Structure 1
Amino acid sequence: MTSGLWQHWVLPGIWITIQLTLYSAALAVTVAFGIGMARSHRSRVVRFLAGFYTEIFRGTSSLVLMFWIFFVLPNLFGWALVPMWAAVLALGLSYGAYGAEIVRGALNSVAPAQREAGVALNFTPWQRMRLILLPQAIPEMMPPFSNLLIELLKGTALVSLLGVGDVSFAAYLVRLATQESSKIYSVVLVIYFVIAFVLTRGMRALERKTRANLGLTATGGAR
């Protein structure tokens, strides 16, 4: 693989993959917390709507959703997204539905006595969520969120089918130009591994920090 191909195709593709991962993760986290907390709401209607959203997007292919947003949405509403943002929206909504179940499970894992203490202190539902439930639930969310982030990173390869110049699309172009399939795809495997390794280490550091704030060890026990 020549330096020119690396500089003009692969390096920009790496940067686009990183952007896709970060933007999609930001949307997914927003959706996950919003829908996940709604799944624990007192209102049955709110819980139903949140559950309906979760089932719809967990049961829908991210790739098909990406195509639907990019090709069908303009015909329905008269406006279109560029491929990059269509991909971010599809990935964020899809993986956010999986993240919502992580948030819901972590919130439900908080001891009932903690909730009762918030009621005894006359906290509002939002105060109980912000001051009691979330601080204890977030450390429990970190390991599954780390796994979900890596799955999201790998899912960004789907955007190459929309012509977005991520690292997978760059590899395809380099293969056409050089006919060196084994070399370029071996390099791309290493690139994905390195990005995933960095993300995993970052999430572990964040997990240690959140647990330390609660006086817990990395394995979840008290110090």
Structure 2
Amino acid sequence: MEWLSYLPALSRGALITAGITLSAIAIGAVAAFAAGIARVEGGRVLSLVALCYTELFRGTSLLVQLFWFYYALPLVGISFEPVATGILVLSLHVGAYGSEIVRGALQSVSVQQHEAARALNFGRAQTLIHISLPQALVEMMPAFGNLAIETLKLSSLVSLISIADLTFRAQSIRNLTLDSAGVYSLTLVGYFAMSLVLMLIMRLIERLIRRGAAFPRAAHS
């Protein structure tokens, strides 16, 4: 079949898409926890900084952010390679939306749990690490799973800054062959397959957390 001849190029693009997506999720998760914890436990200044970051990146278009970092930021002497720009912008997007997930989950921990921690003479850091986070993580995972899938889909926007991801290669092949049906059908299948794999990974992580595998000391304390 003629469609099979598209697979090598599309597969190379899919690898780039997967790498950008996984990198953005990993870095964005760090930003999400940092900003989310700052919103809840960081005091007035850190909470305000985290709030400004969250609202800025949630309140503006991801596409415009991508173009600003790639085309406007170099005008003041700061520039990144296209792949680094894509990962950075997607990471900031994940961090902004993920911080609200973290904040909401931390605030959902019952007051009685915090009172028990104070009765045990736990400090704020001990309460956060041993009481709040282990319980909040369970609540966060379904939302983080959805955010991970959304990040994969949004990663197609990096094709607009000349990154040869799956969408970029699909468009290039389509321009050469004019075979819209074949090229884009395979592209849809590619994104769907990657979504399934990502969903399975997130569910595995969620299952491990629910079993207490991620916090063995807290589970036995």
Is the TM-score greater than 0.5?
yes
Task: Identify if the C-alpha distance between structure 1 residues 79 and 47 changes in structure 2 by more than 3 Å, giving closer, same or farther.
Answer: closer
> Which stretch of structure 1 is more off in the superposition, 39-48 or 86-95?
39-48
- Matched residues in 2 for 1:121 and 1:38: separation? 24
Could you list the per-position Cα deviations for residues 79-102 of structure 1 after superposition, in whole angstroms to 9, with x for gaps in the alignment? 310111101111110121010000
Unaligned runs of 5+ in 2: 214-221
User: In the alignment, is the contact (CA less than 8 A) between 2:3 and 2:182 conserved in 1?
Assistant: no
The equivalent of 2:218 in structure 1 is none
- Matched residues in 1 for 2:181 and 2:42: separation? 55
The equivalent of 1:57 in structure 2 is 57
**One-letter code aligned to 1:178:** T
Report the 3-state secondary structure (helix = DSSP H, G, I; strand = E; otherwise coil) of the residue aligned with 1:133.
helix
The equivalent of 1:39 in structure 2 is 39
Aligned ranges for residues 130-169 of structure 1 at < 5 Å? 130-169=129-168
Could you list the per-position Cα deviations for residues 178-219 of structure 1 after superposition, in whole angstroms to 9, with x for gaps in the alignment? 1100111011101111110111111112112111118xxxxx
The Cα of 1:2 is off from its aligned counterpart by 5.8
Cα RMSD (Å) of the superposition? 1.4
Unaligned runs of 5+ in 1: 215-223
**One-letter code aligned to 1:150:** I
Taking structure 1 as the reference length, the TM-score comes to 0.91
Taking structure 2 as the reference length, the TM-score comes to 0.92
- Matched residues in 1 for 2:42 and 2:10: separation? 50
Aligned length: 212
Could you list the per-position Cα deviations for residues 10-44 of structure 1 after superposition, in whole angstroms to 9, with x for gaps in the alignment? 11101000001011101110110000001102522
The equivalent of 1:107 in structure 2 is 106
- Matched residues in 2 for 1:200 and 1:79: separation? 35
Task: Identify if the C-alpha distance between structure 1 residues 64 and 42 changes in structure 2 by more than 3 Å, giving closer, same or farther.
Answer: closer
Could you list the per-position Cα deviations for residues 104-142 of structure 1 after superposition, in whole angstroms to 9, with x for gaps in the alignment? 000011111111122222222111111111011001100
The Cα of 1:5 is off from its aligned counterpart by 4.1
- Matched residues in 1 for 2:105 and 2:144: separation? 11
Identity of aligned residues (%): 44
